Amino acid sequence: MLSKEEIVIIKFDACVTKGLENELKYRKRSRTNLAKRVVNFSEMSKADEEKLYLEDEYEVFRETITTSLFDATIHDELLHKALLSLKKKNREIILLKYWGELTDFEIGQAMSMSRQMVQYHRNCALKLLKKMIEGMKRDD
- Are residue 37 and residue 100 in the same domain, yes or no? no
- Are residue 67 and residue 127 in the same domain, yes or no? yes
Is residue 55 in some structural domain? Answer: no
- Are residue 77 and residue 35 in the same domain, yes or no? no
- Are residue 69 and residue 42 in the same domain, yes or no? no
- Neighbouring CB atoms inside 10 A of 103's CB total 12
Is residue 56 in some structural domain? Answer: no
Is residue 79 in some structural domain? Answer: yes
Task: Give the pLDDT score at 106.
Answer: 94
- Are residue 41 and residue 68 in the same domain, yes or no? no
pLDDT digits (tens, 9 = 90+) for 19-72: 999 999 999 999 888 888 777 778 888 888 888 887 777 778 889 999 888 899
Is residue 89 in some structural domain? Answer: yes
The answer to whether the predicted template modeling score (pTM) of the entire model surpasses 0.85 is no
Total number of domains constituting the chain: 2
Q: Residue 133's domain spans which residues? A: 63-139
Per-residue three-class SS string for 37-86: HCCCHHHCCHHHHHCCCCCCCCCCCCEEEECCCCEEEECCHHHHHHHHHC
